């Protein structure tokens, strides 16, 4: 959390036969006001991504925050996802409520949203 903006963290997850990227970005959308943006991207096409739903969860100090959406394809630009606001957005004070020694622990669940509903917790 304390690294200067802009900073990106990217983590790859494999589940349900596909690879997903969690992208967490810290950037100043307005001068002097850093924000955190988190989204899940599928390594594949948007048609493939439309078959899944992901959930990001922050849980700390008797607080819980959840974001649920359809992942976007890596063929799209992360910048456009952030500028569209189609991601979890945290300002610094909200992020600090969920931080543990300067780190955000983000729980991830990915489910199939078509045909059958099997869930993979990561």
Q: What is the pLDDT of residues 13-48, one digit of tens each?
A: 999 999 999 999 999 877 878 899 999 999 999 999
Q: How confident is the model at residue 80 (pLDDT cuts 50, 70, 90)?
A: very high
The class (CATH top level) of 7-112 is mainly beta
Structure tokens at 32: 């002097």
Q: How does the average pLDDT of the chain come out, rounded?
A: 88
Full-model pTM: 0.84
Conformational region of residue 94, where left means phi above 0, alpha means psi within -120 to 50, and beta covers everything else: alpha
Burial bucket for residue 114 (CB in 10 Å: 0-12, 13-18, 19+): exposed
Q: What's the pLDDT score for residue 121?
A: 47
Q: How confident is the model at residue 116 (pLDDT cuts 50, 70, 90)?
A: very low
Percentage of the chain lying above the pLDDT 70 cut = 90
């Amino acid at each position: 959390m304390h690294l200067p903006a802009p900073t990106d963290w990217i983590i790859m997850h494999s589940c349900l036969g596909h690879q997903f990227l969690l992208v967490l970005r810290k950037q100043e959308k307005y001068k002097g006001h850093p924000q955190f943006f988190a989204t899940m991207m599928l390594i594949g096409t948007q048609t493939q991504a439309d078959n899944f739903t992901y959930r990001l969860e922050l849980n700390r100090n008797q607080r819980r925050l959840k974001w649920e959406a359809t992942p976007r394809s890596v063929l799209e630009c992360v910048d456009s996802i952030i500028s569209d606001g189609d991601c979890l957005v945290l300002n610094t004070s909200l992020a600090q409520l969920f931080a543990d020694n300067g780190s955000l622990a983000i729980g991830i669940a990915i489910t199939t949203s078509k045909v059958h509903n099997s869930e993979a917790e990561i």
